[in-house]
Structure formats: C-alpha cells, structure tokens
Structure 1
C-alpha cells in the first residue's frame, strides 16, 4: 500500500516462445542463447515449446485465420489453451476436432485433443456425418449439442444406443461427475443390485447430505466410498439386495462401522501375522522400553502400548487405521517412530487420541475417532508441549541418534508424497494433499 492508501502490486511476465502463423504455416521461435554467442530470438522446433497452456494475441485471431478452415479461433473463444502449433497438427490428424468445434461441441472437440480421450472413444472416422462418426443417432447428437457434452457424456450416449434404452440427462451428468464409465457397471459394485437411476439418485442425495454436514462432497470420492462399502458388505456376507443396508443414510458412518467390524472379526489372525512380520516391533512393545515416554500431569497422561494387541484395540475403538496399515509397524520395527496413547487421567483405559511420535519427542500425528482431531484436543496442547520438554531433557545418546534418522526420514517422506501428489480420501480433510495435512499436524519439540 502506497502513501495514498492505494494497494499496489508488482508483476512480471516473460515470453520464451513465439509461434507465427501465416498462410496455414506455423513458424516457431525461441528466445535464448543462440549458438553460445548471444541471447536472441531464433527458429526452433515445435516440440521445444512447453506443453502447458499458452496465450495468443486474440485481437487479430480472426484475421489470421480468415482464409483457413481451422477451428482454432472457436477453440480459443471456448477457453481452450492448447498450444497453437500442436492444435493445428492434431486438428489435421483428427478431422473430428474441427467438425465438433464447428458444430458447437467445443467440450468434445477439446476432449479429442487429449490423446487418451481420442484413442479410447468409439468412433467411425470413415462415416460422412458427425452423428455416425460419433456412433450415435441424430436425436442423441442433438442432446449432446444441447448440453455441450464432452467425451464422457458421449460414451454414455453410445452405451444408451447399444442397449436400446434412454438414460435421463441428469443421471448421465451424475455418472460423469463421479467418473463412472459404462464398463464400471459390469464390475462388483452397486450396479450389481440397483438400477442406474437408483445409483445416481443415491449419489446425489449423499452429496447433498454431506454438504449440509459441512463435508466435502466430491462425487468421485462418494462413489469410491460406496464401492468400498459394498465390497465390505460382500466380504461380511451381508444381504446386498436389502436397500436399507445397501443405501445407508450416512455412507461415511456406515463405511467406518464396517471397517471396525471387519477389524474385530479378523483381529486375532491379523495380530498373529503382524507379530510374525514385525518381530522387532513386537519385542520393543513387550519389553516395556516405551514406558520411558509415559507421563502424567493433572488432567492428561501419556500411556505406552505393551503389545501389538493393544494397538489393535486402540485402532478398532477409535475407528482409524493404525492397526490396519503396515507402515506404522514398519516404522516401529526400525525405530523410526513409536505409537503412544494420549488419555484423560481419570479414564486411563479409555482410548482418546493416538500419537505417532519420533524418538526425540516430535509428534507426527494426533488422531482420534475416525482419524480426526477435534476441539477437545486444544485443551491438551499445553500438556503435550510440556511432555515434549520433559522428553527432551531425558533423552539418551541412543535416542538422539534415532531422532536424527527419524527427522531425515520424515522430510524425505514428505518430499515423496508431494511428488506423488497423494490425497486424503476420507474425513474432514478429504481432497487435501496428504503431505500438507501431515505437515500441519506435525508438532516439533521446541
């Protein structure tokens, strides 16, 4: 903000490539070091141009292509940011792009610019009419135009034609929003037991229900949760034909309850498997070595597990994943992290929060019911900081070395998660980058 109270901002831009179109010919130029002599504009190849979105000088766009058959001006006006050189090349190779753009099917035209989309769409390029090329009739072509549908919608209209039936446009839009394709109806999922309309209607109702509860309502996540839920129902030999069971009022709660039931059923066998697989973790827990981290001060206390069974009981009661994910046992096996229990002093045997800590006292995660952290944790934060200081004062030389290794492993892990763009699939942070959530939850010893 300057002296006059006006907000000011500085910005800059750089131009590294130019493509000049004349008489249908594209000349590509790059600004950079030329033959190790000087910095200047010099001619280069189309494949040297970055593949991300590019800007064009729209003022003379129509004039440049006045005598050309290309649909590029239409594509630009529809929001397409495909590089002009690549667009012209693909348009020449794929006549459907030009035909769709000029027919008002701009979303479908842009879909066909994608190599995967074009390759995996059924089409008849030898036909002479757009509808026949897209393997649909005139009525369905009109519906496609009316909603400016993309390749996903086209695939459902093609499926509709194959089955000689009619799907509601609202249902098709729901299927596309959830990333459900025709081939998905043949797999083990809700389509085995419900009609398409009932599947779509339930997804829409659950989306609205989650929205009212303040949860993220991404349709793809909803569909994934529901498929997981049906799969678990089948494993538990539940009657999937009973719609009251198949379509629970709150899918999230029902999903997590089934996870807990399966965990209880399989816990004895899994505990034995974990004990065989993670012998170092078993030995560490049963030795009582983690008792050195136990601490109590007023309202709260830190309790250490004495066996893998204790960890299973904690995970099942709190309905989170510490007992089902090998990663926590793997980390204990190599002493990268330990699991401890945060409890209320007046209820030391009642699970409240699970802590994943590093040997030096850093807290990586603090999770309660359904793998969430709630407002009740705020009152315990001063206690946790006090506990960290107590741990810091009592660290042995061995613990300090382990803490250094753990610190490096955590940073490397965050880096890998960012590169892989891993997301959280459930709960309040659904759709958030896992690395961001873990970093926000991390509590370092000060």
Structure 2
C-alpha cells in the first residue's frame, strides 16, 4: 500500500469489574486509529470509547456514541452525545464490522473473578466480543447448567438467534424445570450421551406428544438423519402419520434394493410427501395402511407420477416467467455445468417426464413463491434435462436426477460451489445442503 492510503483502524472490547456492584462486570468498545498518511515520524495512537456495557444479574445496559469517526482533516471527531439502546448489540457485527475487531479474553478472565459470571462457562463460547453471551448469561443463569449438562447446542441456538421451539423455560431456576423434564427423562438424556440441540429436543417433544415409543438415542439419531432444514416437510408428513411410524417405515425403505444407496431419510421424506399428495389427487384412500405405506415407495411413486395428467397452465407460466426474472441473478456456471431457474410450467412438466420424477407437480408452488425450482444442465447439452434442484428459504432441500437419483460427486462439488457463490452471499448463519 502506498502511504497515501496507509491507516490502521481497529475496534477493541475490554472488560473490567464494576466499581459500584461487586457482582457486575463492565465492558468498553474502543475505536482506535493510527494514521501514517501525514508525518510518519510523529504518528499517534488515537482512541475513543464507542460503546459502554454493564452486565449484572438480571440487568444489562448499553450506551453508544453514534457520532464518532476519524478523518484526516478533523482527526478523531465526535459529538459528546450518548444514546441508550433498548437491547444489547455487538458493534463488531454492525457499524465496526468493516474494521479489524478484537476482544481481550484476558480482561474477561480478570473481570469475572468473584462474580456470578465466573461460573457462566463463558470460556466455551469464545468468539466475537462476547457481549451477547454476557447479556444472555445475565438474564438467564440456566446458561451455566445447560452447558455443564452437555447442551451447548441449545445455548448457541439462543445466542445466534436460531429457533429454540420453546423447548427451554429460560427463566426457570432448576434444570428439570428449565428443560421441562422428569428426573427419569433427565437421567435417560444424560445416560444416552448424545449431542443435544433445540431440534433434537423438539423431536423429543413431538414423539412424547404422539405417544411414540422412541428412546432418547432414537430421537438423537432421527434428528441427525432428518435435519432441521426438512422441518416443513416433516410438519406436512406428521399430518398423516407419527414420527415413530415414519422412522420405522424409512428404515425399511433404505434397505429396499430399489432405493438408491446414497438416498437419505430427508430425501425419502420429501418423496413420501409427494407420493401422498399424488394419492390424494388421484382419489386413493390414504387411510388404508397399504396405500399410505407402500412396500416399495420408489415404484409406488413412479406409478402415481404416470397416472397424473398434467396440463400446461398459461396463468402459471406467466407467474413463473415473472419469478424467473427475479431469480435470473442466481444463474451460475462452472466446471462444465450451469444452473438456472426453471422458465415455465411446460419446462417443469418436460423435466419431470424426462427424468421420471414429480417436479411437474411443483409448478403451482414455484409460481406462488413458496419454493424455487432450478434446472442443472451440462454446458454442452444446455437443453437436455440432467438434474433438478429445489431451494427453499436459502436451503437446497432436493437435487434429483433420472428416476430421483442423487447427485454424482462432480455434480455435488458443483452444487457446493454454487451454494458458496450464490446462496451464501447474504448474511446467513447456516445453509443446509441436502445433496
């Protein structure tokens, strides 16, 4: 860099003990600058406090100086004005995010000594400036024993703004009341030695509500095999059956020779949902167990696809054309492949016929914006159906080829590259890749 543009800026968060309340800790967010663009032999380290925090049991306060910045002509400039914020926020993730940000963990270690925060398990959540963690720990002391019980995933979900499905009573004072469990259930959970997160606890609640005889180990396994990105599909499926029956049925289907060796329970879930919807459209009696749970799901689904006569709908096509215009920016090419949004209901029907899957039935949902349908092609065969991709809420939930086969390794690598280049360009904390 030339010296005309050489300036160092940083944002540092430093913790101290409260001088007023022995149970409280404070933090300061400090904006600091070293400017080498003038006389480089007389560079000063300039710093001003940008934010102040107070964390005490049951109460947290944050103040920010909104008008504070540095310019070459004015130096470190600010209005002597502070504003109180309604909630604790991290400037490292907002107005200071474009600068190098640091947190003094040694200052935390010294500050928490002799306070309730000493036992908050903060060391296990190192990352960023920690203000969100201490805000959570001050409001909900249960953070300590949730972590010590091996439920760090639950705390992280709360910290990161993820869904917690109301599985935790954060204001309760005992572990059993916090987790809404009996002693027997708590002992079973601890004995199972499984990773616990809100999705797993949510599935436990569903199983308990429906009376399924599933152990904690079974539920933990199901939570891995049907990840949270399939929640909407699972909600639909549980309108027709229960979690225990569904799990037992999918175990049998995975052992079926017609099931692709790389298929997952997530794929089977979406396939079974589509099959049931086909049955309803065909007037079949899904209260009949042999209809609802066919011995060979793959063959039964292929049969219902053939029976449904789809017609090209001009109104749907017009809506899809409008959707396609807004999704065009997501088109992506690499490694001899191209992925783009489907352009019409006719293309979806032709795609389904060529690949022998049911994407034609997704035209209405695609037109309404309930899901996004993309077609994946080889660059040297841009008009020949190859794979079809469904994207919902930023997650790839299906990628299907001929007769619902899953992606080959080269297609999978392309999909992962597509996700990193297109789906992760916005600030997403997590993207599920079901390929």
State the TM bucket, normalised to the shorter chain: 0.5 to 0.7
2:26 counterpart residue number = 25
2: CA distance between counterparts of 1:211 and 1:41? 67
- Aligned match of 2:50 in 27, 44, 49? 44
> Against the structure 1 CA distance between its residues 364 and 17, is the aligned structure 2 distance closer, same or farther, given a 3 Å change threshold?
farther
1: CA distance between counterparts of 2:48 and 2:256? 58
Q: Decide which structure has greater helix share.
A: 1
> Against the structure 1 CA distance between its residues 117 and 434, is the aligned structure 2 distance closer, same or farther, given a 3 Å change threshold?
closer
The 10-residue stretch of structure 1 (40-49 or 162-171) with the greater mean CA deviation from structure 2: 162-171
1: CA distance between counterparts of 2:306 and 2:147? 51
1:223 counterpart residue number = 269
SS in 1 for 2:384: strand
Q: CA deviation at 1:199?
A: 1.2
Decide which structure has the larger Cα Rg and report it.
1
Give the alignment of 1:248-267 within 5 angstroms: 248=294, 251=297, 254-262=300-308, 265=309, 267=310
Q: Tell whether the 8 Å contact from 1:206 to 1:251 is kept in structure 2 after alignment.
A: yes
Does residue 319 of the first structure (1) align with residue 347 of the second (2)? no
2:117 counterpart residue number = 70
2: CA distance between counterparts of 1:212 and 1:318? 16
> Against the structure 1 CA distance between its residues 71 and 221, is the aligned structure 2 distance closer, same or farther, given a 3 Å change threshold?
farther
Cα deviations across residues 347-382 of structure 1 (Å, max 9, x unaligned)? xxxxxxx9899xxxx8644325x759xxxxxxxxxx
Does residue 234 of the first structure (1) align with residue 280 of the second (2)? yes
2:396 counterpart residue number = 423
Question: Where does the alignment leave 5 or more consecutive residues of structure 2 unmatched?
Answer: 1-7, 18-24, 39-43, 52-88, 322-344, 368-375, 401-405, 422-435
The 10-residue stretch of structure 1 (88-97 or 420-429) with the greater mean CA deviation from structure 2: 420-429
> Against the structure 1 CA distance between its residues 212 and 251, is the aligned structure 2 distance closer, same or farther, given a 3 Å change threshold?
closer
> Against the structure 1 CA distance between its residues 355 and 225, is the aligned structure 2 distance closer, same or farther, given a 3 Å change threshold?
closer
TM-score, scaled relative to structure 2 = 0.53
> Against the structure 1 CA distance between its residues 137 and 165, is the aligned structure 2 distance closer, same or farther, given a 3 Å change threshold?
farther
For these two proteins, the number of residue pairs brought into alignment is 311
2: CA distance between counterparts of 1:225 and 1:49? 43
Cα deviations across residues 60-110 of structure 1 (Å, max 9, x unaligned)? 865553323227873543x66464111101221233323422444322222
SS in 2 for 1:167: coil
Does residue 169 of the first structure (1) align with residue 163 of the second (2)? no
> Against the structure 1 CA distance between its residues 26 and 143, is the aligned structure 2 distance closer, same or farther, given a 3 Å change threshold?
farther
- Aligned match of 2:240 in 178, 192, 195? 192
1: CA distance between counterparts of 2:108 and 2:297? 51
TM-score, scaled relative to structure 1 = 0.52
Cα deviations across residues 312-358 of structure 1 (Å, max 9, x unaligned)? 6785354257866769xx9xxxxxxxxxxxxxxxxxxxxxxx9899x
Q: CA RMSD in A?
A: 5.3
1: CA distance between counterparts of 2:258 and 2:138? 45
1:436 counterpart residue number = 418
Q: Tell whether the 8 Å contact from 1:422 to 1:434 is kept in structure 2 after alignment.
A: no
1:300 counterpart residue number = none
Q: Decide which structure has greater strand share.
A: 2
Q: CA deviation at 1:149?
A: 1.9
2: CA distance between counterparts of 1:239 and 1:309? 30
